[in-house]
Structure 1
Amino acid sequence: LGLATDADGDRFGIVDEKGHFVEQNLILALILDYLVEKKEWRGGVARSVATTHLLDRIARRYNLPVYKTPVGFKYIADLFLKQKIIFGGEESACLTVKDHLPEKDGILAGLLVAEIVATSGKPLSELVEELHQKYGRRVFKQESRPISLEIEKKLTALIASPPAELAGRQVEKVVTVDGLKLDFSGDDWVLLRLSGTEPLIRCYAEAEEETEVNRLMKAAWEKVE
């Protein structure tokens, strides 16, 4: 098991016993599932719009409310101060939990993963596989491209008038708290948003199969390029 943080300790990186990097969305889901199943925590779950819907699947199983925020951990931290939140996470390797700092903590994430491995007596790769069996396999991707005035105008127009379908799939829900997010059946989704820190436009997508993720992202990029 390998545990790492960035230079200031607020983001995490986890490697399993085989030396394979474990995608951060899976770590978020693993920790949330542990907290609600083994520790029996109950309360709200906070995540950014760019974060895996695996968290939603876990929350649905335990009848927990899910709060969706713009990208930026400050929005999740603010919810901890206003609501009964037990867990908050972002796809960019950020999380915190109740009765801790209302801020992202990579050291905490690593310690929680170590606790899960130690108390279960199972290697991390096996725990991740069990997570897949319980909640389904998900593929998540994120791409960034340079922004231009033309792209920004197209995204603004798209937010004002979202499509009813994309890549041949019916849009079930439109979310515009941070860019344009289109939700589809089966917890599949795609998001286009402008970076808040760099001159980039980002595209995120999640689905059961990588081919579907690629299809959704290709169709989304075509809307703004």
Structure 2
Amino acid sequence: MAAVTTVATTPIAGQKPGTSGLRKKVAVFAGPHYLENFVQSVFDSIGDTAGQTLVVGGDGRYHNRAAIQTILRMAAAAGFAKAMVGRGGILSTPAASCVIRKYRTFGGLILSASHNPGGPDEDFGIKYNIPAGGPAPEAVTEAIYARTQTLREYRLVEAAAVDLDRLGEQRVGAMVVEVFDPVADYAALMETLIDFDAIRALFADGFRLRYDAMNAVTGPYAVEILERRLGAAPGSVVNAVPLEDFGGMHPDPNLVHAHDLVAALTGPDAPDFGAASDGDGDRNMILGRDFYVTPSDSLAVLAANAHLCPGYAGGLAGLARSMPTSAAADRVAARLGIPCYETPTGWKFFGTLLDAGRATLCGEESFGTGSDHVREKDGLWAVLMWLNILARRRVGVAEIVTAHWRDFGRNVYSRHDYEGIDSAAAEGLMAHLRGLDLTGRELDGRKVALFDDFAYTDPVDGSTSHHQGIRVLFEDGARIVYRLSGTGTQGATLRVYIERYEPDPARHGLDPQVALADLIATARRLAEIEARTGRTEPTVIT
């Protein structure tokens, strides 16, 4: 029996999990006791860990391997009987959820800062996913945070490092460590949901794809599924090798950071379809030739066409979207006669709806889409759903989306991100907005029907969440939403969402920045963005 070492420590301030776990700079996580304090607080807060199985893996970013070795020694000391680790420490976030659910483990620790940059001077993160496979709900994260404030010691066993690149079983103390193929279980699940034969036929007919894995975790998954199993031409997956610093790329699949992909999908000789995923594989961006699909539209199109995919041929129980996501999905739900739930931002809020069978597809405007097959958003799954639809309908991406707009109308939509602004200034801006009384007033020719700070009561478990974003809803159906993102590690990110409904097909082709220009001006003026942040333009517009 390996010896258990008890290390004295003191609470470390600021270890409060955000929307998707705890994220800080690598130097913070590598500092004395920082990772250990948080992991011990997790183990102390999730119940009896003796004899249980823990899944561990991450997106391969810098510090991933070192952190896994520490976690394994601490898991053994906490009494876990087994730890399942993706080979090389690699495990995409949706694949982690798949493995947790398939093997009925006690949850897992996922090491990622998602779409944030990686490297020695960049970001790292960790989150606990519960046995259902999804992110820990607020009750659990609050308990973890409370424990970080009282922790006085942590425990680990004395053991040699695990060879993370060797498949099979090893031991850390009395705990079995199984290093497994991180792709196999996930790929097998995809084959039950997606019409692989139809996609193979599409590629056989000369359909061309470019998938940018952004030197992040989905590279091995995409090569195996898209090229080896489905027959996309070799080299269709680019930037396919996970690198600790993502090769200097910013692994956020949007029009700014995936600019090379956008350029590759431009022009008459471009591939038929383009896609990208982020650092940990839970986000996606979808492109056609000379055509960008917003995440809000992507959710709506997938929902309207889900019956073409084997895993959803029986129909959808319901849809769910985060509050800032456009109402395009609501229109599809209404047509299908199913509910559409509006939740706060954060995938954990979809968990109870999925578990209760109330929702089948879910989506967030921040490039996240998923379904009840796992309890995380799933970038590669969304790509495969799109390929399935393209294979069955045999028209291009632009044709599918524009036909959808003609049928349902277009929710013209844009998100403006102001990244890395002073935190105090950001909080001051939100406090300024909360102090306004706008309901019933007229703003630049539009009458405000409702002005509030979004609050949510979960229809399944009755839990409540407050202060989830300032909403300005106009009588004509337009809206402006303001919220601070919880995914950054430096300063604050202000996100401003602008939307209006356009039923006239003759106006569907307008650039959203043109179609929304008056609302954008109202949004900036109302929040006093330039005066309070010093920013005259957003950092990123999507």
Q: What TM-score comes out, normalization by structure 1 length? A: 0.87
Q: Higher mean Cα deviation, 85-94 or 60-69?
A: 60-69
Q: 1:95 to 1:195 in 2, by over 3 A?
A: same
Higher relative contact order (CA 8 A, sep 6+): 1
Q: Secondary structure of 1:7's match?
A: coil
Q: 1:35 to 1:9 in 2, by over 3 A?
A: same
Correspondence for 1:153: 431
- What is the distance in 2 between the residues matched to 1:59 and 1:184? 22
Correspondence for 1:15: 287
Does residue 87 of the first structure (1) align with residue 361 of the second (2)?
A: yes
Greater share of residues in helix:
1
- What is the distance in 1 between the residues matched to 2:307 and 2:325? 19
- What is the distance in 2 between the residues matched to 1:64 and 1:173? 25
Correspondence for 2:439: 163
Q: 1:24 to 1:152 in 2, by over 3 A?
A: closer
Q: Secondary structure of 1:122's match?
A: coil
Q: 1:157 to 1:75 in 2, by over 3 A?
A: same
Cα pair 2:291 2:397 within 8 Å, conserved: no
Q: 1:174 to 1:57 in 2, by over 3 A?
A: farther
Q: Which is greater in Rg?
A: 2
Does residue 59 of the first structure (1) align with residue 333 of the second (2)?
A: yes
Q: CA deviation at 1:33?
A: 0.7
Alignment of 1:66-145 (within 5 A): 66-98=340-372, 100-145=373-418
- What is the distance in 2 between the residues matched to 1:84 and 1:105? 19
Which residue of 149, 156, 181 maps to 2:471?
181
Q: Secondary structure of 1:101's match?
A: coil
Q: CA deviation at 1:77?
A: 2.9
Q: CA deviation at 1:185?
A: 4.3
Cα pair 2:450 2:473 within 8 Å, conserved: yes
- What is the distance in 1 between the residues matched to 2:430 and 2:479? 21
**Which sections of structure 1, spanning at least 5 residues, go unmatched?**
none
Q: Secondary structure of 1:172's match?
A: strand
Q: Secondary structure of 2:403's match?
A: helix
- What is the distance in 1 between the residues matched to 2:398 and 2:429? 41
Q: How many pairs align?
A: 221
Q: CA deviation at 1:221?
A: 2.5
Cα pair 2:413 2:499 within 8 Å, conserved: yes
**Which sections of structure 2, spanning at least 5 residues, go unmatched?**
1-272, 456-467, 503-509, 529-542
RMSD: 2.2
> What percent of counterpart residues are identical?
29
Deviations 1:52-72 (A, max 9, x none): 111111111122211111111
Deviations 1:17-57 (A, max 9, x none): x2433222221111011126883513221101110111111
Q: Higher mean Cα deviation, 58-67 or 77-86?
A: 77-86
What residue identity is the alignment partner of 2:282? D
Which residue of 523, 528, 533 maps to 1:220?
523
Q: CA deviation at 1:124?
A: 1.4
Cα pair 1:57 1:135 within 8 Å, conserved: yes
Correspondence for 2:127: none
Q: CA deviation at 1:126?
A: 1.0
